[in-house]
Structure formats: C-alpha cells, structure tokens
C-alpha cells in the first residue's frame, strides 16, 4: 500500500521524498486500515451474548451516535449522526453494542443508503424485535469539497422495519423523539 500511495503522491506532482511527505505513505496506510477496520468485525460476535431476556415492550432509542465513513465512490469522508430505535420482543441488546454496530459498518467503504439498511437489518435479524428504525444524517465531503460544492447540505436516510414501517404512530413517535433536544 505504501508504494501505491507514493505513486499517487508522484502522480499529483509531489515529491514523496521531501521532509513533510517522507512518512506520509506509512501514515496514510495506517489511517486507511483504521478507517476500513469494519471489514474485520464479525457482527455476530460483536453482539455475541449481549442479548438479555427482558419483559419490556416499549421503544428503546439510542440517538445522536456519531459516525465517520468513507464514500466508496471517491474515498472521501462523510460523517454525521445515527439514530436507532427498536421495540423489544422479549429481548434487549446491550446498549453499548448499538454504537459499536454503527462503527462496524461505517468503517468500510460505503454509501449512506446501504449503511442505514445494514444497521437496521442486523438489529432486526439478531435481536428479533417487533420493529427497528434507523435514521442517518450525513455530511458528505465529496459534495462539499468537490463536485457541486454545497458545504451545508445534509443527506438523510432511513430504514424502517416491522412496527416502524407498518404503524404511522410508532414511526411518528420515533421521529419526534429524535428531534427533541438532548438532556445535556
């Protein structure tokens, strides 16, 4: 990978041997390995045994989960917040597993639409709740820094499953909760 990055530096007219760029290929390699570390995550193992029998049947919501990802079209970052809710059907998942799941999928080359669906499908398949809702709000640097150069635009994607898709009241409650100010 370092040789490829050196070649890219030469291709844009830089001297990879100059002082400020001498260690850049190594740093970029380390950075890319971290930013794409989600490929190494076994999502089933991530959730593992963190499923607990609980007789709770109201919405569980974790909102404002920050995420960072790389656009698969340009390998330029996009970032934002993710809101996830589910309605348990006898089981709840450990709360810390939800942001970890977001990171596992975000740390891959992605499009926001697929990322949103992957999170919803995984929670639906592993937790088996009555419904799942995922809304992601992302700022895409490939739209802000290049192309249309619209630095204030935000992309919003959603995936609704089960009760959230079938019941407008449940979906509305979720959307109202994610738009409320935080308690902090």
Establish whether 6 is a catalytic residue: no
The verdict on whether 83 is a catalytic residue reads no
Instruction: Say if residue 184's pLDDT is above 70.
Output: no
Is residue 71 annotated as part of the catalytic site, yes or no?
Answer: yes
Average pLDDT over residues 85-106: 98
Q: Of 83, 110, 137, 140, which one is the catalytic site residue?
A: 140
From the centroid of its chain, how far is CA 21? 31
E strands present in 39-181 = 51-53, 60-71, 77-87, 91-93, 109-110, 131-140, 155-162
Greater pLDDT, 146 or 175: 175
* Domains contained in the chain, CATH given: 2-35 (no CATH), 50-178 (3.30.1130.10)
- pLDDT at res. 120: 98
The pLDDT mean for the chain works out to 96
Beta bridge partner(s), residue 82: 65, 136
* 82 is an active site residue: no
Which pLDDT tens digit goes with each residue over 44-58?
999 999 999 999 999
User: Active site residue: 30, 72, 113, 151, which one?
Assistant: 72
Q: What is the pLDDT of residue 152?
A: 82
Distance between CA atoms of 32 and 29, rounded to whole angstroms?
5
pLDDT digits (tens, 9 = 90+) for 108-155: 999 999 999 999 999 999 999 999 999 999 999 988 888 888 888 999
Whether residue 38 has pLDDT greater than 70: yes
Task: Name the residue among 26, 50, 43, 110 with its Cα closest to residue 75.
Answer: 110
Check if 140 is active-site: yes
């Amino acid at each position: 990978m370092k040789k490829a990055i050196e070649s890219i530096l030469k291709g844009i007219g830089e001297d990879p041997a100059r002082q400020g760029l001498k260690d850049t290929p190594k740093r970029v390699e380390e950075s890319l390995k971290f930013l794409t570390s989600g490929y190494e995550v076994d999502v089933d193992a991530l959730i593992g045994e963190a499923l607990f029998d609980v007789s709770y049947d109201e919405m569980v919501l974790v909102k404002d989960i920050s995420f960072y990802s790389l656009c698969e079209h340009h390998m330029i970052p996009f970032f934002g917040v993710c809101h996830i809710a589910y309605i348990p059907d006898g089981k709840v998942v450990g709360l810390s597993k939800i942001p970890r799941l977001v990171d596992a999928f975000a740390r891959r080359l992605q499009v926001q639409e697929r990322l949103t669906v992957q999170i919803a499908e995984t929670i639906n398949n592993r937790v088996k709740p009555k419904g799942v809702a995922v809304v992601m709000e992302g700022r895409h640097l490939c739209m802000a820094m290049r192309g249309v150069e619209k630095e204030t635009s935000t992309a919003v994607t959603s995936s609704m499953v089960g009760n959230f898709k079938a019941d407008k009241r449940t979906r509305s409650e979720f959307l109202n909760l994610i738009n409320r100010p935080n308690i902090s």
